[in-house]
Structure 1
């Protein structure tokens, strides 16, 4: 799971030093596209290693590779034709949890334990007012899914058995939503976790209201606090993606989806677990929908429809290295980074 990469990367020692050297070489990073054989848009992405990765997207599509992207197999749930998958979480080549989004019963969760040969629908939303955007797991058992506000408050769905069963959390511990506030189902990273301390930490990000905000929990989603972020907010603007490499250091990226070429103050950092956020000194300058850290390194990658950027200083400054279109990016415990997006695009980062 994504949160487990912190422990794994922490033990790499000299390998991390070598990887840092590789990322800062004069050649720089670049994306190497794989042949997925499809043209759907993949906003859901769950790489496990440099060899194993899952991707979920439009038209009920789920793909899996076990050979580093040389071959992709279609492993979608048979009953999911036409659904819009926006998030997927995976532990290994066999176990994954996929989230389909939409109003009412279009929001569903499926689980597999046999590499996608069979899936079980473990949640179907029965509230027309709910719309689930993202899912995250804090360990192999405990996970959360986020819905846009229902009755003036964001709704949290929780599991403690690896996604086999889900229950809606009471909203008594959730601050009120702002008028027009919602989360963005853009890259599977509007809700994230980083929980190697076992404290149930998670964060989610918003936009749409008067202020783009970041909510946080330290007890598995029962109680939440919220702070304003410095990223601009608007009808289709705000924080689209969060990434935490440990419980304290995080990055936020976003912008305005309809105008992707212009995103002032579109990236920020935190060093205190999300209590305060500071705009990056040099931002990507354009809308970015996904971001992730390279293990415990101060290196992170951000992607969007107009290009990709990298930071070597913990998110304080960003540098463009690619102009291709991607929606999502994730890095694995073995320090491999993958990206996915429109027209069936899935790539691995070369350095």
Structure 2
């Protein structure tokens, strides 16, 4: 089994440049995972768990083969949800206790209206290629003929069409029950204003001409943020209409962004990279984080501290809103894919070993 970020990178395949050699989209074989339901599993806590979420008191975890499970008793018992696709689930987020979205490989986007018991597919990679080409044609028509912007947009659409519908969506940002933004590899982005009944390609609204992968998105302080490769951070202050680039924190890929309280924002990623901003992303300062493995997740527990998990099986705790982290546990055989708070000091560690409930108070102070 691959660790979470390695797995996501394996889903992404080669670089954008390598896509020049790809055959036309119609030459690709069918992708049955898009339409085949999730694989039923017996051990509901032992699958490769990739993403977690909560819907009121309900806990949800998603992972490989389209598996999404949910618990209504604080992780004591689990039930498998009805999911119409068998792709890897990469992200889950709710906007109300009933309404939420999930993203997956092959561009799959799912929606639930019953708190995650049942899901419907709203979008996939084949449809996203059509959306991208339509948006590109409109954009190119609005630009001076032969301009750099028009040429770059046209070439991007050609490359991504030729390489096929195998691009994963990696982040979901629900704004309301009707409005939602989805982000993924090669700057793929889609926007819906009707709850996902229809979608518009939104990739040209992000100020990244090089089409980097986008790994996470968050609504913080009235603005929307997305983070991705090469330390890139983008922020929208106009309701998602545009995402200009903020100050770059370095060249290390960023896997996540979170509001850590006290008016501060934390971004984190490759090789223990972690930075704090106290001015809405205008400037960034490195955190005191001694680890060198990839930081895959940071969450705040209901009891107050921040917990970070890394690809080397390390758990780190911060009691100063992310300024510094201390190691409390390491299991080198278990990469931390994601973390999900339960209540108080309790949380779920999600890994290729499954769902592992932990209690921070059981660790040495």
Residue of structure 2 in register with 1:270 after alignment: 277
Residue of structure 1 in register with 2:265 after alignment: 250
Confirm or deny: 8 A CA contact 1:55 1:64 kept in the other structure.
Answer: yes
Residue of structure 2 in register with 1:120 after alignment: 120
Confirm or deny: 8 A CA contact 1:63 1:76 kept in the other structure.
Answer: no
| Structure with larger RCO (C-alpha < 8 A, sep 6+) | 1
Residue of structure 2 in register with 1:279 after alignment: 286
What's the CA shift string for 1:82-105, capped at 9, x where partnerless?
Answer: x1111111356644322112xxxx
What's the CA shift string for 1:5-27, capped at 9, x where partnerless?
Answer: xxxxxxxxxxxxxxxxxxxxxxx
Q: Measure, in 2, the Cα distance between the counterparts of 1:349 and 1:232.
A: 35
Q: CA deviation at 1:349?
A: 3.7
Q: Residues 132-151 of structure 1 correspond to what in structure 2 (within 5 A)?
A: 132-149=169-186
Q: What secondary structure sits across from 1:226 in the alignment?
A: coil
* Normalised TM-score (structure 2): 0.67
Change (3 A) 1:100 1:276: same
Q: What secondary structure sits across from 2:353 in the alignment?
A: helix
Q: RMSD between aligned alpha carbons?
A: 2.9
**Runs of 5+ consecutive residues of structure 2 not aligned to the other structure:** 1-41, 130-163
Q: Measure, in 1, the Cα distance between the counterparts of 2:228 and 2:85.
A: 28
Q: Residues 71-86 of structure 1 correspond to what in structure 2 (within 5 A)?
A: 71-77=77-83, 79-81=84-86, 83-86=87-90
Residue of structure 2 in register with 1:192 after alignment: 218
Q: Measure, in 2, the Cα distance between the counterparts of 1:70 and 1:295.
A: 18
2:71 is equivalent to residue 61 of structure 1: no
Runs of 4+ more than 6 Å apart: 332-335
Confirm or deny: 8 A CA contact 1:310 1:320 kept in the other structure.
Answer: yes
Q: CA deviation at 1:227?
A: 2.8
Residue of structure 2 in register with 1:230 after alignment: 249
Q: Residues 138-217 of structure 1 correspond to what in structure 2 (within 5 A)?
A: 138-149=175-186, 154-169=187-202, 171=204, 173-178=205-210, 181-184=212-215, 190-194=216-220, 199=222, 201-207=223-229, 211-217=230-236
Change (3 A) 1:230 1:174: closer
Q: Measure, in 2, the Cα distance between the counterparts of 1:89 and 1:253.
A: 19
What's the CA shift string for 1:21-72, capped at 9, x where partnerless?
Answer: xxxxxxxxxxxxxx963432221110245x4201111011010000000101
Change (3 A) 1:122 1:67: same
Change (3 A) 1:122 1:335: farther
Number of residue pairs matched by the alignment: 279
Q: CA deviation at 1:122?
A: 1.4
Structure number with larger C-alpha Rg: 2
Q: Measure, in 2, the Cα distance between the counterparts of 1:100 and 1:247.
A: 33
Q: CA deviation at 1:228?
A: 4.2
